[in-house]
Amino acid sequence: SSGINAEYGGAVPTLIDFHANWCGPCKILTPTLKDLVEKHEKEINLLMVDVDDFGDIAQEFDVNAIPCVKLVREGNVVGGFVGVKTKEDIETLIAQSLD
């Protein structure tokens, strides 16, 4: 079991945003994620993981393409997506995690 899963595996769900500085779509997605997490302050966390700096973590989470978002709750990946999604789609994912 990973340190990430242990550290971000509590009752508060965590969105993990796997990204890189050179990734154009990541630059579109990240502000949307930050807005939504801010809106749901204290209900959900956001963890930014640069795949160039933390390739081992990306590998551990089976990230093959970016942007990639994984939703972790109580140590388990319970959802996520690859690519850029609409604010509404991400809002739905967050809502499901808060049930």
23 is catalytic: yes
Element (H, E) at 58: helix 55-60
Catalytic pick among 4, 16, 23, 93: 23
Sign of torsion, CA 2 81 37 84?
Answer: positive
Question: What SS3 class is residue 68?
Answer: strand
Catalytic pick among 4, 15, 26, 58: 26
68 is catalytic: no
Task: Return the active site residues.
Answer: 23, 26
